[in-house]
Chains A and B, each alone.
Chain A
Amino acid sequence: MKNIIEIRHLTKKFGEIVAVNDLSFSVKEGELFAFLGINGAGKSTTINILCKQLAKDAGEVLIDGISQDVDSAITKRELGVVFQNSVLDMSLTVLENLESRAALYGLFDKDCKDRIEELARLLDFSELLRRPVGKLSGGQRRRIDIARALLHHPKILILDEPTTGLDPQTRSLLWRVISDLRKSEQMTVFLTTHYMEETTDADHIVILDSGRIVAEGTPLSLKNAYTGDFVTLYGVSEEAVKALGFPYTSHPGGYRLMLPSTGSATALIIAHPELFVDYEITKGNMDDVFLAATGKSLGEERGK
């Protein structure tokens, strides 16, 4: 698969602050790419440069093989963006919003009408077309945001924390639609999120900290590289757990030990059978990867 996005040695400074520091990575066509980092890590700056909303200080950005510096009108046509907060016009109806945005891509009259109808069926908002966007619920509005981003059949869909604040049902619907689109249209999805479980299906993950890449790979390779196994022991005393000599945290009804590998977990069970009466072994999750790679927790970000 070819690279649909290539970022080479990208740098952006705001005064003395280096927001993005010599960043290089690529995104393959059709993949779900997750771009992670706490607030201020440089994610939004990178996305803004990618969308040509912000000028870069150094480096190069290629979309589908074309440098943004050569022709941003072409590269912009390849992008559909769902912003963190809805940027639609609250006083206008859904239809008026979509028609005005479709015009920006040269979609008018029948072409425009057909595409809006198609998206309304796909995202299940046909009954909302005549309602003002300001009167919609958060979930309904998000569906319209995604429809707006998809109006012109973009090759790349940029989702900037698309499901923040949404109910589980709407999140599930959005992910189903996005997943279908990826399959049917070979669409590349560039995702930033604070929900680590949304990255488990990603083909490639980049974790950013202070404007630099601190980890990248598939979810499995990152888990193998950054986390071990977790053994949760129930009905034991803290003294007994402490005596095992592994880092642990308190867990409802017991304690959670962090072990470097499955092998060391097995050895521990064999060595201390009296403690392993009620226990479970799990692999580390993406939250653990993030914590290990950055030393920071995304849980704090979600709370903000």
Chain B
Amino acid sequence: MKYPLIWFLKAYRLFISPLYGQVCRYHPSCSAYALEAVTVHGSIRGSWLAVRRLARCHPWAAGGYDPVPTRTTPTRGV
């Protein structure tokens, strides 16, 4: 499940992402975050982190620098 997701995210970043230009209020951008999260944390935890990041990336969010948590640091919540 992990590799199809990575493949999908890479394809998205190459072909669909450019249609919108820079949209994300964070660095790394949501799709880069998702790619790294899935690569580092695997499909389930990575997807969960990516979904949470997307939920954070709304028009009222301040944005900012928001890196993927490393494997050693526990994430808040789940």
A binds B: no
